[in-house]
Amino acid sequence: MISLKEDINKALEVLKAGGIILYPTDTIWGIGCDATNTEAVEKVNQLKGRSGDKHLIVLLDSENKLASYVREIPDVAYELMDVTERPLTIVYSDAKNLPGNLIAEDGTLGIRVVNHEFCKQLIGRFRKPIVSTSANFSGQPSPKSFAEIDKELIESVDYVVQHEQEQVTEGQSSMIVRLGASGQFELIRK
């Protein structure tokens, strides 16, 4: 087993080259890429067999970086992040500074600020947001552990993170909330 630092370094090389990684998150195992790279985002959609109308989410390592990708952040967003015990993905209005194939037609974008050692370090060192989508082909159930990931998918990515592969606790998808610019919110997934 390689060290956490080596694992992050290898994942960084792939992200910087526009490749796709398979990695542990604060929820379930994910497929990811550089969220600022249009071609990499398209590769993720193609790998999963997804149509472009189903949008991916973005992970950040700090709430301080939200303003770089969302025009207006309602105060309730910070309140929700503070009180929610589970990982929380917030769908914001009026996303910016990211490729068109990542932002929905209505200008919205799902963003989750992670509280997960591997992700925080990876995103912090990468200095850019990364895409996160469940590590499965479109239409298949989301894997709750690394052992449940389809072998074909594992062989299709550019790098598989070694950290947490042996973890036996089953991951759980994030809660998803949609926020309006004026602060109203709607629970999309518990």
Tell me the domain boundaries of the chain.
4-189
Question: Quick one: which of 133, 47, 27 has its CA closest to 88?
Answer: 27
Q: What is the CATH number of domain 4-189?
A: 3.90.870.10
Answer yes or no: are the C-beta atoms of 81 and 113 closer than 8 Å: yes
Return the bridge partners of 163, or none. none
Question: Quick one: which of 44, 2, 16 has its CA closest to 122?
Answer: 16
What pTM value is reported for the model? 0.93
Structure tokens, 64: 């301080």
Looking at residue 142, what is its pLDDT? 87
- pLDDT in tens for each of the 190 residues of the chain? 789 999 999 999 999 999 999 999 998 999 999 999 999 999 999 999 876 667 789 999 999 999 999 998 988 899 989 998 889 999 999 899 999 999 988 889 999 999 899 999 999 999 999 999 999 998 898 888 899 999 999 999 999 999 888 876 666 778 888 887 676 778 787 7
Return the bridge partners of 59, or none. 112, 130
Looking at residue 174, what is its pLDDT? 83
